[in-house]
Structure 1
Amino acid sequence: MASNKRTPMIAGNWKMHLNSKEAADLAAAIKSGLDPDLKHEVLLAPTFTNLHAVKAALAGSKIILSSQDVAWEEKGAFTGAVSPSQLIDAGCTAAIIGHSERRKVFLETDEMINKKMRAAIKANLIPVLCIGETLEERESQKTYRVLETQLNGAFAGITAAEAAKVVIAYEPVWAIGTGKTATPDQAQDAHVFVRKQMERIYGKPYAEAVRVLYGGSVKADNVDELMAQPDIDGALVGGESLKADKFLRVIHFQAVLSR
């Protein structure tokens, strides 16, 4: 279980799925299914075009509305990009940054991710920073080197005070959308390493306070075991977050009873 100092977060990344009505209906179903006494945070990240519809569906709830990406500039000739202020105008209070699909498909570099981090922080958005290794990197014993490089790049030039709101999501690339999941021990080991790196960068108090989520085929039938690990503070959920009943089960993971 995570430290009592850290509020668990369950985040749903809807990727490029759903039209606006489907997204609004799903958001409404999740909202209505939440335990009114739920103590941890829930975040939903629909596509850009569905932000307004989901915002309306979530009215009156504490669910965090997030984008799946953010531009590092506020305005200008950046076709296809969406600025931090535009996201805020659409109702967002958070932004996913550096997802493995952005790194792989759209060739985002650590430098680009760092600029997005700075832009989100400046706009007072909660950055949800994604890091993780590929299967080849894990099998080559490079997991920790990759994570260290990604963390160093993402946080370059960012002070501890600026980084206070950052949430980190460890998502082993080989487990995303594959049905494969890191074992609880594998995930815990990676989270411990991430926390040690944050201690190296910002000191022990920051490392003990920063939330580190696990992402990678999190499902209703494995979330309890994952969330029982002391350094796993939540989950970044993909496909399972597209089904209200399954995602609500993830949100109400059983480990919450002993937190």
Structure 2
Amino acid sequence: MARKFFVGGNFKMNGTKESIKSIVKGLNEAQLDSNVEVVIAPPALYLQLARDELTKAGVEVAAQNVYDKPNGAYTGEISVSQLKDLDVHWTILGHSERRTLLKETDEVVASKTKFAVDGGVSVIWCCGESLEEREAGKTVEVVERQLAAVAAKVSAGDWSKIVIAYEPIWAIGTGKVATVQQAQEVHEAIRKWLRANVGEAVADETRILYGGSVNGKNCKDLAKEKDIDGFLVGGASLKPEFVDIINSNL
């Protein structure tokens, strides 16, 4: 089946009221491919602002993280119900910066993923390897380990609420990018793992995004690959070229 192209923009810890409004205004006014699903993830402080300013059909807002408890004494965390209260129905989970800087384990990410989908919030679930793991030939092993942790928590039906983002850690914010062949090989391996361990339908229907220094210059070649269903974009999502990336599948 044809999988709908998906482009996420992860603003990370960047932005002001003025710049968020400017980015959203640009998206509202842009000619975007109607066959692409777009989700932007501003810092938590600006979720409501982005939600209120967005008028473009087909563009949604995501949080950059969510906690796996419904409410309570969890200082600094955000709950699924609070996201829904803001009409935010997406979250990014397992991004390498949270795995490496904040020491989130595969199991923690899996628990958050389960809690989010159970609560009605869809997940852009991230996986990927370090440079050392890539050079040691362990890329697929690492990604399969991360996948297995999530698969142990969620049901086959839950995967319809999950978009996978493969992000090689060594290519995030470094200016380096996996070659088209390297990216496609890992995407193909992820789909093969899903087919063997979850099911044919999930493997065929789950969208797998590439993330890792995606920009307006390399997006079209990447988008041509059969197992690359879109992108999770970092720094370029703050720039006008984000529109070119959204339209890269035209």
Same fold (TM over 0.5): yes
Alpha-carbon contact 1:51-1:91 (below 8 Å) kept: no
Asked if 1:128 is matched to 2:124, the reply is yes
> Which of 12, 17, 23 does residue 15 from structure 1 map onto?
12
Q: Does structure 1 residue 228 correspond to structure 2 residue 186?
A: no
3-state DSSP class of the match of 1:41? strand
Superposition deviation, residue 34 in structure 1: 3.0
Q: Report deviation, 1:60.
A: 5.2
The TM-score, its normalising length taken from structure 1, stands at 0.94
Q: Deviations over 1:193-215 (max 9, x none)?
A: 00011112211121011000000
Cα pair 1:21 1:53 within 8 Å, conserved: no
Q: Residues of 1 paired with 2:190 and 2:30: CA distance?
A: 33
How far apart, in 2, do the equivalents of 1:122 and 1:59 lie?
A: 28
* Secondary structure in structure 1 of the residue aligned to 2:210: strand
Aligned twin of 1:182: 178
- The amino acid that maps onto 2:3 is R
| Cα distance in structure 2, aligned partners of 1:134 and 1:210 | 24
* Cα distance in 2, alignment partners of residues 72 and 24 from structure 1: 30
Cα shift readout 1:87-109 (whole Å, capped 9, x = no counterpart): 11122110000000000110000
2:238 maps to 242
After the TM superposition, which parts of structure 1 deviate over 4 Å for at least 4 consecutive aligned residues? none
Q: Are residues 1:71 and 2:60 paired?
A: no
Which residue identity does 1:218 align to in structure 2? Answer: V
1:105 equivalent in structure 2: 101
**Conservation of the 8 A alpha-carbon contact between 1:20 and 1:49:** no
1:137 is the counterpart of 2:136: no
TM-score for both structures, normalised by structure 2: 0.97
**What is the rounded CA distance, in whole Å, between the counterparts of 1:191 and 1:60 in structure 2?**
30
Residue deviations 1:20-40, cap 9 Å, x none? 2311221121121133x5211
Q: Given the alignment, which residue of 188, 195, 204 partners 1:192?
A: 188
Aligned to 2:3: 6
Retained in 2: the 8 A contact 1:168–1:211? Answer: yes
User: Of 166, 169, 172, which residue of structure 1 is paired with 2:165?
Assistant: 169
8 Å Cα contact 2:116/2:122 also seen in 1: yes
Show structure 2 runs of 5+ residues with no match. Answer: none
Partner of 1:26: 23
The alignment-based identity, stated in percent, is 39
| Structure 2 counterpart of 1:87 | 83
- List per-residue Cα deviations over 1:172-201 (Å, max 9, x = no partner): 000000000000000000000000111122
Cα shift readout 1:42-85 (whole Å, capped 9, x = no counterpart) = 11000100011101110353201100011000101111100001
Deviates more, 1:174-183 or 1:149-158: 149-158
The residue type equivalent to 1:31 in the other structure is N
Pairwise CA RMSD of aligned residues? 1.1
The 8 Å contact of residues 6 and 209 in structure 1, kept in 2 or not, is answered as yes
Q: 1:205 aligns to what SS in structure 2?
A: helix
| Alpha-carbon spacing, 1:60–1:246, altered in 2? closer, same or farther (3 Å) | closer
Equivalent pair of 1:93/1:126 in contact (CA under 8 Å): yes
1:203 counterpart residue number: 199
CA distance in 1, matches of 2:153, 2:233: 29
Q: Measure, in 1, the Cα distance between the counterparts of 2:56 and 2:4.
A: 21
- Once residues 81 and 172 of structure 2 are traced to their aligned partners in structure 1, the CA distance between those partners, rounded to angstroms, is 30
Q: How many aligned residue pairs are there?
A: 250
Match status 1:251 vs 2:235: no
In structure 1, the residue corresponding to 2:156 is in which secondary structure? coil
